[in-house]
């Protein structure tokens, strides 16, 4: 090893150590529920007919997702090998050509995903999980592509600019920049959700404020999103930072299918996410992902002259997609940990485990989800605990209260 490489190796080791410490600290920033979950048999909670129907529904979507992923990677491999030749035919300059290749690459990604996306919608319509039309769905997907183009163009312009200045170490300068953009996007997310209106129910507002006091969460905006035209499934989400903190409830959740106690539990779960600063942790996980992703991008584009050269853009897109696929199980595990912590906090706030169990059963039946999927499916695709795990958590919380009472 030459002396000139020693400082670079030392710097990489220091960066790797800092990255490992940051990932470890971020993981443990979410406290897992302090119980061991028993294994529950889904047949004790759901009918055989429902379990067979849910397994068939989920199996097709899983196969479709795997085929779509394989097709996407194959298409990007071809683009990475052949796309560089397009750079020689462009007169748009270094950065301009790079942005054109980036937009072309992500247009290819969109086109590769469209058939599988439409097939998934067809399957969901067949099982009455979705009522969205094919043309509106495709139009919405195409319109969202425009905003993605703007974001990706800005991202690759930043990366190419840094690569032109810092050469091999551009990715270290880019990570803080993208983390700041992720922070900004997290702040703006609640304002970008379509079809929302303020919650007008005084009871719901009062319950949300009471739960915020119990769970130590800052006051959040309450919104309702109209989705009943497209689905009967029920859901909710929390998003935003500081003054943009928002809890969004689907209008299907506020229907007669769910009683006030069940809706209150959903509110308690979303309040817990804000109390635990989970949107901010999402920015942290973005930074944890970006460090190795951009580092590998810088390394694997060297044969094309580095990311400062437009010829490297197709390779960079392939690296980004593959690293994202590889990181998915880890990021999903972090998400499941946060969801379990929010479930536990909701039980602590409401103290209604029986209601929680009924709620999880209803949500699963509405979305036709498999309550106990195969381990590999759950590990790869699941960003929430399984339904059976969430019911087991309610059981464990109830047993913990009984043990405390006896003591």
pLDDT at 226: 93
Of the chain, the percentage scoring pLDDT greater than 70 comes to 96
Adjacent-strand bridge partners of 161: none
119: pLDDT strictly greater than 70: yes
What would the mean pLDDT of 263-275 be, rounded to a whole number? Answer: 97
pLDDT at 318: 92
What would the mean pLDDT of 63-74 be, rounded to a whole number? Answer: 94
pLDDT at 5: 64
Helix (H) or strand (E) holding 196: strand 196-198
Where is pLDDT greater, at 154 or 399?
Answer: 399
3: pLDDT strictly greater than 60: no
pLDDT at 56: 96
92: pLDDT strictly greater than 70: no
Q: Are 273 and 241 in contact (CB under 8 A)?
A: no
Return the structure tokens found at 285.
């996980």
Residue 277's pLDDT band (cuts 50, 70, 90): very high
Distance CA 293, CA 299 (A): 10
Q: Are 312 and 304 in contact (CB under 8 A)?
A: yes
pLDDT at 8: 67
Beta-carbon contacts of residue 106 (< 8 Å; ≥ 6 apart): 145, 148, 149, 152, 317
Phi, psi of 254 (to 5 degrees): -90, 10
356: pLDDT strictly greater than 80: yes
pLDDT at 122: 96
Beta-sheet pairing, 221-225 with 196-198: antiparallel
pLDDT at 90: 65
Q: Start-end ranges of CATH 3.30.2010.10 in the chain?
A: 196-270
Q: Domain 196-270, what architecture? A: 2-Layer Sandwich (3.30)
What would the mean pLDDT of 258-281 be, rounded to a whole number? Answer: 96
Lowest mean pLDDT among 102-106, 170-174, 195-199, 285-289: 102-106
| C-alpha pair distances (Å), 337 with each of 22, 123, 285, 333 | 17, 30, 13, 6
| C-alpha pair distances (Å), 74 with each of 174, 266, 299, 314, 358 | 28, 41, 21, 13, 44
pLDDT at 155: 84
pLDDT at 89: 65
pLDDT at 96: 80
pLDDT at 152: 78
**Cβ–Cβ contacts within 10 Å for residue 348, how many?**
15
pLDDT at 6: 63
Of the chain, the percentage scoring pLDDT greater than 90 comes to 63
What would the mean pLDDT of 172-181 be, rounded to a whole number? Answer: 90
What would the mean pLDDT of 59-79 be, rounded to a whole number? Answer: 94
pLDDT in tens, 21-38: 989 999 999 998 988 888
pLDDT in tens, 205-234: 999 999 999 999 999 999 999 999 889 899
pLDDT at 91: 61
**Cβ–Cβ contacts within 10 Å for residue 233, how many?**
19
For tokens 């580092």, what's the residue?
295
What would the mean pLDDT of 94-122 be, rounded to a whole number? Answer: 87
**Cβ–Cβ contacts within 10 Å for residue 45, how many?**
18
């Amino acid at each position: 090893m030459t002396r000139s490489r020693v400082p670079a190796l030392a710097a990489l080791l220091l960066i790797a150590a800092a990255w490992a410490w940051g990932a470890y600290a971020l993981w443990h920033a979410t406290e897992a529920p302090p119980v061991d979950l028993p294994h529950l048999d889904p047949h004790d909670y759901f009918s055989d007919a429902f379990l067979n129907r849910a397994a068939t529904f989920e199996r097709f979507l899983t196969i479709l997702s795997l085929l779509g992923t394989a097709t996407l990677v194959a298409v990007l491999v071809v683009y990475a090998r052949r796309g560089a030749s397009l750079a020689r035919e462009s007169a748009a300059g270094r950065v301009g050509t790079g942005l054109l290749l980036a937009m072309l690459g992500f247009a290819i990604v969109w086109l590769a995903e469209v058939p599988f996306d439409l097939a998934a919608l067809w399957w969901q319509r067949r099982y009455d999980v979705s009522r969205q039309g094919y043309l509106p769905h495709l139009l919405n997907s195409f319109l969202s592509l425009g905003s993605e183009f703007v974001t990706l163009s800005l991202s690759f312009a930043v990366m190419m600019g840094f690569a032109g200045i810092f050469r091999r170490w551009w990715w270290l300068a880019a990570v803080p920049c993208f983390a700041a953009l992720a922070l900004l996007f997290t702040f703006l997310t609640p304002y970008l959700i379509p079809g929302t209106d303020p919650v007008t129910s005084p009871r719901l507002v009062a319950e949300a404020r009471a739960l915020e006091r119990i769970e130590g969460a800052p006051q959040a905006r309450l919104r309702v999103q109209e989705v009943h035209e497209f689905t009967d499934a029920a859901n909710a989400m929390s998003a935003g930072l500081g003054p943009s903190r928002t809890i969004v409830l689907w209008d299907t959740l506020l229907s007669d299918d769910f009683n006030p106690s069940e809706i209150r539990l959903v509110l308690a779960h979303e309040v817990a996410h804000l109390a635990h600063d989970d949107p901010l942790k999402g920015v942290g996980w973005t930074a944890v992902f970006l460090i190795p992703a951009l580092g590998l991008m810088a390394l694997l584009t060297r044969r094309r002259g580095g990311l400062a050269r437009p010829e490297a853009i197709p390779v960079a897109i392939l690296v980004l997609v593959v690293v994202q696929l590889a990181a998915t199980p880890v990021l999903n595990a972090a998400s499941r940990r946060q969801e379990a912590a929010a479930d536990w906090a909701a039980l602590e706030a409401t103290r209604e485990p029986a209601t929680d169990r009924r709620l999880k059963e209803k949500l699963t039946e509405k979305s036709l989800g498999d309550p106990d999927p195969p381990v590999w499916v759950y590990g790869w695709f699941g960003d929430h605990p399984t339904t059976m795990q969430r019911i087991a958590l309610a059981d464990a919380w109830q047993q913990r209260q009984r043990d405390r009472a006896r003591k």
